[in-house]
Every structure is written in structure tokens, then in C-alpha cells.
Chain A
Amino acid sequence: MRHLNVWTLAAATTVAMIGTSSAAYAACDEIILGSAISFTGKYSTNGIHAKNGYDLAVKKINDMGGVKIGDNCYNFKIKYYDDESTPARTAQLLERLIKQDGVKYFLGPYSSATTKAAAPVMEKYKIPMVEAEGASRSLFNKGYKYLFAVLSTSEQYLASSVALAAEIAKKEGKKPGDVKVAMAFENDPFSQDVRAGVLDDIKKHGLRVIIDDKIPRDLSDISQTLTKVRAVKPDLLVVSGHSKGAATAFRQIGEMKIGTPMIAITHCEAAKVISKFPKVANGILCPTQWAETLSYKGPYFGTAAEYDKAFKAAYTEYKNVPYQSAQASAAVLVWHDAFKRAQSLDPDKVRDAIAATDMKTFYGNIRFSKAGNNIAKPMVLRQIQNGKYNVVAPSEWASHKVEYPRKAQ
């Protein structure tokens, strides 16, 4: 059986080699990037955001002449499958992309859950994946060698809002132990990892947790948790649950007149909260991986603001560019950069090139730790002020002062 496999492999390689050598004379060959991403199911909102980001970057790179390896040039092309927002499907589809479609380079799925299912498959076949949407830090303590993430990991999402709460308490002369924190996190791998990070931060600053609820995944109601919040009056409320959780939280925070002075919620941009809940949104803190107002700059799209413009021109339905799209684009740029430096199509060589990435992009600096996460880029915290996202923390990036307490309606 092994015998037969070797022969089929040999035959396939021969065919492939003939294919590539003859195509060298054509205009440009193709490098297929594979991705199983959510077009349907609960993650699909952000799955589409990510896909748009991938597509925009691929178009940009191809317009710039594609990848040059030696004398050959290659255009990127992405082969998508729909993982239906379930990790069970991710593993199957990646097997299919690798074995049947012969894809050797991967872009990540959306969400930590699906990325957690993807990572073992990549390890199994020793094929590199640059992912942009799986932030869970437990992805990066398992010793995976073929997984690279351009985004900051989950514990950083709400770290600066906890720090901010502690800072404000100190300024007001309160003891840290008097600062009460209420937490509501969706019961899924991503949000639970965010929670683990928040708990560490809370311990570090010595704050006190008074509510620690999990939001079920298929539920559009968190009013019981908010009722508790109204009763015990915390100083900081943190909510995380992808776009769905954000939409539900905004709606009910407004409806129940939650007067908590500081509220931090993830995935505001992706849920388009400013246009949907203009009144409630004011004063709420939203952590973001990227913001168009930051002073990042890189060779492909120019500055963050220029990327913002290019994205809105390509997809006119967006009023704010979600960071999910920006980081997806950044992942494609990493591939391009790695191919250029590796000057090879061999997955292992390209993998080593990715590991050595050190680039400046519109999305921020990208440099991977040994574990594969990007350690060169901070997360920033924005506050919605008068219908605009303004960066308020950390201080080296802040363009505006944080409004505290948040003005409840």
C-alpha cells in the first residue's frame, strides 16, 4: 500500500512538474491559498468580513504583479469552502483542501473554535497556515509549528479596559478592591479565553469580580445578567460574544438603562453598533485589533487610512471597516512577503520564511514569536464618542481622552 502511494505521489509530482514548467511561459501561474471559512452559521457575519479582507488583498497583490519567484510569476487565488461555523466541518474541509485539491498554503478560518480544529490538521500534514481570526491564546501554548497569527491574542482584548478601570479608581482615591467588575462572556472558545485573560488582569490589579455569567450561544437575551448588573451596580461591565453578543448587549443595555460608568464590549465594529444603536453606543469602550486612525504604514496599501479608503471603495456597503477585514488582508500580505523571501514553493521553506517575518504594514508591525503569535502589534481600546470611534488607550496610541463616567441616557 505504501508502495502504491509512493507511485501515485511520483506520478502526481511528474504531472505537476510538467504542468509548472510548461506554464512558465504563460503570463502568470497561480498559487492557490486554501481557506475553510464561515459563510453560514453563527460566525458568518465575521466570516464574510474576513473573506472580503482576503479578496481585497489578493486583488491588490495580483494588480501589483503577483509573486515573483526566480523568473516565474504567480498570482494568488483563494479556494474557499464553507465550514458552517462548526469546528467539526473545518477539519474535514482542510483535509479535502490538502488531499484532494492539493493546496499547500493556507489562510485561517474565522473564530478561535474553528482555528483550534484547523491547527492539528496543519501540524499533521506539516503545511503552514497564516491565520488572522483565531485569537485564543491556547492556540499558542500547544507547540504548533505551522500556525501563525497576525493578530494579538485573546488576553489582550480587554486588558487595557481593566487597566483603565484600575487607573481611574486610583485617581479617585478608591482602593482597587472596591472596584467591582461584572463579566458576561459567550460560552465559546474565543470568549472564554478572553475571560481567562480578564480574570488574570483583574487579579493583577486586585479588582473584585461580582458577576461572572456565560452567555449561551444561541440566545438573543441577556436581560437576566443585566438585571443583576442593575442590582449590584458594578464599576466596570465587560461583555464579549462576537457580533451577536455585541448586538444583543447594546440593545438591552439601552433598553434597561444600565448606568454602569464603564462598559467594554468586543466586536462593536463588526456588529455595526453605531448605525444600529446610535444613542446607546455613546461612551462604550470597544477593544480593536486595528483602527484606521492609527499611524501604521506599509508598502502594500500605504497607511491605515488609505487601506480604509480602498476597502470602502471596493465594498461600498461598509461604513466602518471592521478590523476582522483588515487583519485578513494582513495575513495575505504575510504570505506574499514570505514567498518573496523564500523564493521557493516548498511549504517548509515558505514556513521558515514566515517564521522570520518582520514587516511593517498598514495593520501594524508583524513579527512572530516562537509560538506563532504576532508580538509586534498592540491592541488598542476605542471609545465611541459622538458617533465616532476614538482611540483612548493605551496612552502611546490615544488620540482622545476617555470620557468617564459614561453618560447613561
Chain B
Amino acid sequence: MLDNLNLLVIAPFLNVQLLLDGLFIGAIFALAAYGLALVWGVMNVKNLCQGEFVIMGGYFAWYIGDMGIHPMFAMPVAIVGMFAFGWATYKIMIARVVEKDMFTSLLATFGLAIVIQQGLNLAFGPEVQVADSGFPTRSFDLLGGSITVAEIKFYSFLICCFLATAVVAFMKLSRMGQAIRATAQDVRAAKVMGIDTEQVFAFTYALNAAICAAAGVLISMIWVIQPFYGITHSIRSFVIVTAAGFGNLAGVIMAALGLGVAEQYGGFVFGAEMQQVTVVGMLLLVLIWRQVQMSRYRQAVQ
């Protein structure tokens, strides 16, 4: 461990490498996490099949790449397809859990996650799949070492930025976006003002699925996908949203990028097996820190 720290000091370019890798991957985390923040904030649904949506998006890219078309073209297809899937899921299932307590949505979507995993497994087999973007890797000499940046990571970072901006603009400018924000503030009041909240919920959930799908398309070109890989993406989303709070896009982005970098550093310093522990450990730290903060205001017998 100390060797690894020492390595970071004597070879400073490694810091740049880790930082870049962390930011690039963190941007993708931010997409899925923002989707979760949306459904959590607007309709109070804790969507535990977030990661499965991501993986489904990845399978779009893989499938289209397999047909000989560049997997990047899967992006619009995946977004539209998953939007429809999200809408249908809402109508069949989620609509019935919106009003219920928090645990209901958590478990119901866990059930859905199992079904999706197995559905993918039955449809495409359990093999690890990749979509090949075909973009080269570039190296730069910096701080006495060479940094490699796979072009696909860079492009995906740009796409993430674009999508995030698009979603924000949509929320601010469109009628639907305004309705979503109003519903998030107060469902009852929104209803009184004539907003069809049912429609808003369906749209929000579908939008979440579409955002996740976009993240999935990128993931399949950078990492690898498999029907059972969703859970780690779900956990990351929960960590990010719990840390950032929902309804706070800037916070979500900061937390996601931070998590991406922390994972890279955690894996580098403590060994790759500690990467997951880093994520969970950060979550616990955030929660405990919050608790300590809150306890200052609590006056009860404790």
C-alpha cells in the first residue's frame, strides 16, 4: 500500500491518468445517478433496477454492433426503446407502488431487476459481451510519463455532457419539464394546478430508463456487460444520490465524478479488490457524517 502511494509521488503523471480515468467513468455514473435522483425526487420511488436499465442499454449497443453497424448508432435506438420500456413498466407496475411506503418500491423494483437479469440471460446468454467502438487510443507525454486516453472515453464524456445539458434544458424550458419540477415540489399542489401527475410520473420514469440506456450504450463500449452486472451500477447510483441528495443536479455530478476518481484511487492504493469497498465505505462515511451533523440539532434523550 505504501509502495503504491510512493509510486504516486515519484511518478506524478499517474495521478493525471487516474484522475482522467476517474472523471471519464464518473461522467457515465452521473447519468444513471441523475435518473435515479429524478424518480426518487419526483415520485419517491427508489428504483433498484437502475443498473439493469443500464445493462439493457448496453445490450442495444452490443446487438447493433454485432449487426455490423457502429454501436454509437445504438444510442438513439436505445433511448427510444428504453423510454417505451420505462413507460410500459410504469403503467403495469410502478404506478401501483408510487403512493406506498418507501420499502415497497425498493422491493418491487428489486423483483423487476431479477426478471430483467434473467430475461437478458435467456435472450442473449450469460456471456460477457462488448461493443467495439473501433476508436484508437491516444498517448500524451506529460509530467515525465505517457498518459493514454482511449478516444471512446473522451467522446463518451462529451456525450454525457451533452445529454446532461439537454436534460437540464428540457427541465427548465419545456412544459413537461416544468410540470415535473412542480410535481417534485408538491404532488398535491401540482394536481390542484391542473397537472396530470399520473402523466408526469410515467414520463419521469420513462425518461429515467432512457437516460440509463444512454449510459449503458457508453458502458458497453468502455467496460464489458453481462446480464448480471447491473447490481454494481445500481449501488453506485444509490451511493451518489444518497451523498448528493436529489433534485440537485450539480451535486449529483460532483458526487459522481468524485466517486469515479475515488474508485480509481482506492483501487490503485489499496489494491483492486478494495474498489468496491471504497464505494460502500464512502457511502457509510457520508451517512455517518450526516448523522453527526444532524445530532447537533437533536435535543432528545439519546
A227 near B127 (CB under 8 angstroms)? no
B275 near A224 (CB under 8 angstroms)? yes
Task: Say if the beta carbon of A187 comes within 8 Å of chain B.
Answer: yes
Are A187 and B273 also in contact (CB < 8 A) when A221-B223, A247-B130, A256-B137 are? yes
Question: Which residues 220-263 of A sit at the B interface, judged by CB distance below 8 A?
Answer: 220-225, 227-228, 230-232, 243-244, 247-248, 251, 254-257
A221 near B275 (CB under 8 angstroms)? yes
B226 near A244 (CB under 8 angstroms)? yes
- Select from chain A the residue with minimum beta-carbon distance to B126: A44
A346 and B139 CA atoms in complex are apart in Å by 66
Least CB distance from B21 to A in Å reads 6
Are A45 and B224 also in contact (CB < 8 A) when A219-B272, A228-B268 are? no
Interface string of A200-230 (1 = CB under 8 A from B): 0000000000001111101111111101101
A225 and B273 CA atoms in complex are apart in Å by 10
Least CB distance from A316 to B in Å reads 14
A223 and B153 CA atoms in complex are apart in Å by 13
- Select from chain B the residue with minimum beta-carbon distance to A242: B128
Question: Which residues 14-39 of B sit at the A interface, judged by CB distance below 8 A?
Answer: 14, 17-18, 21, 25
Contacts of A248 in B (CB 8 A): 128, 223-224
B229 near A224 (CB under 8 angstroms)? no
Are A251 and B223 also in contact (CB < 8 A) when A48-B125, A223-B264, A231-B145 are? yes
A42 near B228 (CB under 8 angstroms)? yes
Task: Say if the beta carbon of A102 comes within 8 Å of chain B.
Answer: no
- Select from chain A the residue with minimum beta-carbon distance to B229: A220
Least CB distance from A17 to B in Å reads 41
Summed over the interface, the residue pairs from A and B with CB atoms below 8 Å come to a total of: 114
A244 near B128 (CB under 8 angstroms)? yes
A227 and B148 CA atoms in complex are apart in Å by 10
B267 near A218 (CB under 8 angstroms)? no
B21 near A223 (CB under 8 angstroms)? yes
- Select from chain B the residue with minimum beta-carbon distance to A271: B128
Are A48 and B223 also in contact (CB < 8 A) when A220-B229, A255-B137, A257-B139 are? no
Task: Say if the beta carbon of B7 comes within 8 Å of chain A.
Answer: yes
Task: Say if the beta carbon of B111 comes within 8 Å of chain A.
Answer: no
Task: Say if the beta carbon of B11 comes within 8 Å of chain A.
Answer: yes
Question: Which residues 139-166 of B sit at the A interface, judged by CB distance below 8 A?
Answer: 139, 145-146, 148, 150, 152
A45 near B25 (CB under 8 angstroms)? no
Question: Which residues 18-46 of A sit at the B interface, judged by CB distance below 8 A?
Answer: 39-42, 44-45
Contacts of A247 in B (CB 8 A): 128, 130, 224
Question: Which residues 248-275 of B sit at the A interface, judged by CB distance below 8 A?
Answer: 263-265, 267-268, 271-273, 275
A222 and B126 CA atoms in complex are apart in Å by 21
Contacts of A224 in B (CB 8 A): 18, 264-265, 267-268, 272, 275
Question: Which residues 264-302 of B sit at the A interface, judged by CB distance below 8 A?
Answer: 264-265, 267-268, 271-273, 275-276
Contacts of B148 in A (CB 8 A): 230, 255-257
A225 near B276 (CB under 8 angstroms)? no
- Select from chain B the residue with minimum beta-carbon distance to A244: B128
A220 near B137 (CB under 8 angstroms)? no
- Select from chain A the residue with minimum beta-carbon distance to B152: A255
**Among B126, B148, B152, residue most surrounded by chain A Cβ atoms (within 10 Å):** B126
Size category of the A interface is 35 or more
Contacts of B14 in A (CB 8 A): 227, 231
Partner of A216, one of B128, B231, B275: B275
Interface string of A34-68 (1 = CB under 8 A from B): 00000111101101100000000000000000000
Contacts of B223 in A (CB 8 A): 220-221, 248, 251
B11 near A231 (CB under 8 angstroms)? yes
Task: Say if the beta carbon of B121 comes within 8 Å of chain A.
Answer: yes
A215 and B272 CA atoms in complex are apart in Å by 5
A216 near B276 (CB under 8 angstroms)? yes
Partner of B275, one of A44, A184, A219, A255: A219
A84 and B184 CA atoms in complex are apart in Å by 40
A244 near B272 (CB under 8 angstroms)? no
A57 and B4 CA atoms in complex are apart in Å by 50
Are A227 and B21 also in contact (CB < 8 A) when A216-B272, A220-B224 are? yes
**Among A221, A230, A256, residue most surrounded by chain B Cβ atoms (within 10 Å):** A221
Are A215 and B121 also in contact (CB < 8 A) when A228-B4, A244-B226 are? no
Contacts of A219 in B (CB 8 A): 232, 272, 275-276
A-B contact pairs, 21 of them (CB 8 A): A41-B228, A42-B226, A42-B228, A184-B272, A214-B271, A218-B229, A219-B232, A220-B226, A221-B275, A224-B265, A224-B267, A227-B17, A227-B18, A227-B268, A230-B17, A230-B148, A231-B11, A231-B145, A247-B224, A254-B137, A271-B128
B residues at A contact (CB < 8 Å) = 4, 7, 11, 14, 17-18, 21, 25, 118, 121, 125-128, 130, 132, 137, 139, 145-146, 148, 150, 152, 223-226, 228-229, 231-232, 263-265, 267-268, 271-273, 275-276
Q: Which 7 A-B pairs have the closest CB atoms?
A: A44-B126, A224-B267, A214-B273, A220-B223, A224-B268, A247-B128, A255-B150
User: Contacts A230-B145, A243-B128, A251-B130 given; 7 further ones with Cβ under 8 A?
Assistant: A40-B121, A184-B272, A214-B273, A218-B276, A221-B263, A230-B148, A231-B7
